[in-house]
């Protein structure tokens, strides 16, 4: 998704991660929306979901997101000399 500070790629692999993302975005009700209820539903509705998420992520800084939302192991791995390719 296009961002003010670059591009962000999301990998939401399960319903728990989806719920956490919705809460992070301040839109917890999206987690219960029938068309996005399961991973299969989100895949099927990916075009609508992409448009919706892009709208909500537009003002989120990608560097802040990486620093504050990724698991510590990812942050450590990406802080090394190969972080930016």
pLDDT greater at residue 1 or residue 21: 21
Helix (H, G, I), strand (E, B) or coil at 6: strand
**How far is residue 1's CA from residue 53's CA, in Å, rounded to a whole number?**
8
pLDDT computed for residue 48 by the predictor = 94
What would the mean pLDDT of 36-56 be, rounded to a whole number?
A: 90
Domains (ranges, CATH) in the chain?
A: 2-78 (3.30.1540.10)
Share the mean pLDDT of the chain.
77
Q: What token pair was written down for 71?
A: 């698991």
Helix, strand, or coil here: 50?
helix
């Amino acid at each position: 998704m296009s961002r003010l500070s670059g591009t962000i790629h999301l990998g939401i692999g399960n319903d728990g991660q989806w719920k956490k993302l919705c809460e992070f975005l301040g839109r917890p009700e999206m987690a219960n929306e029938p068309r996005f209820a399961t991973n299969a539903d989100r895949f099927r509705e990916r075009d609508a979901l992409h448009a919706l998420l892009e709208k909500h992520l537009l003002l989120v800084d990608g560097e802040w997101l990486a620093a504050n939302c990724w698991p510590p192991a990812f942050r450590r791995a990406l802080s090394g000399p190969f972080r930016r390719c």
